Amino acid sequence: MHQDLKAFYQTLVEEKVFDSAPEDTVSRLAVLFPQEVCFSTSFSMEDQVITDLLKNSDVKIFTLDTGRLFEETYNTWTLTNSKYQRSIKAYYPDQNELEPFVQERGPDSFYTSVENRKQCCHIRKVQPLKRALQGNKVWITGLRAEHSPDRENLLQLEWDESNQIIKYHPLLYWTTEDVKNYIRKHDIPYNILHDKGFLSIGCAPCTRAIQPGEDFRAGRWWWEDANKKECGLHVHK
């Protein structure tokens, strides 16, 4: 089945199905894969734009609640449910994995080593994501090329070998100003931390505001080497 999907992905690339406007591409993907298209939101500005683009579609929307999110993120989640009159499905860490990890290594062990941080991300994000993606053939994300050098060469439609799923990045080539303009124009709720210097917003203990001139993701895991700034959700090869 996965080989068939991968082959079909190649057909979509050849047909340049992603060359149209995001709304049109999403509509086509929803027709090709009914009830098998999902979108993962972290309630970032770009994800809020995509939620608005999906408001008239039946694409499933989910989020990963790590248990360590900012209160402002939960507030954005509540406002989003209210505006779009839909309940965004949450996926949580497996307690059978999380509880022993915290007990053995402590609640803030991610500060002590890259290994511990990656294991924390794996339990709180990667494993719940794999459950969320089950039964789906297309995963829509809010990745943008400006986010990091690793994302500059991404295709809008790509094959995710790790999760055996087609990924679509509708805002890949949007600028930050494009995103902000859309937010303002459509009066979309967004995380107010963005107004306080937070660009990439993840878990509260692992995210800080950035300073002028710093890289987009400098505020994530700032105590680590700059080349290790990924949590494992998006594996680029």
**Terminal Cα-to-Cα distance of the chain (whole angstroms):** 22
Query: How many CA atoms lie within 13 Å of 169's alpha carbon, on the beta-carbon side?
Result: 20
Two structure tokens written together for 112: 């002590």
Two structure tokens written together for 31: 């027709």
Q: By C-alpha distance, which of 110, 26, 126 is closest to 66?
A: 126
38, 121, 203, 231: which is the annotated catalytic residue?
Answer: 231
Residues sharing a CB contact under 8 Å with residue 41, sequence separation 6 or more, in sequence order: 47, 48, 50, 51, 61, 62, 63, 80, 88, 142
Q: Note if 231 is an active site residue.
A: yes
- CB contact at 8 A, 200 and 217: yes
Nearest-angstrom CA–CA distance, 63 and 159? 21
H/E element, 74: helix 71-84
Two structure tokens written together for 28: 């086509």
Return the active site residues. 231
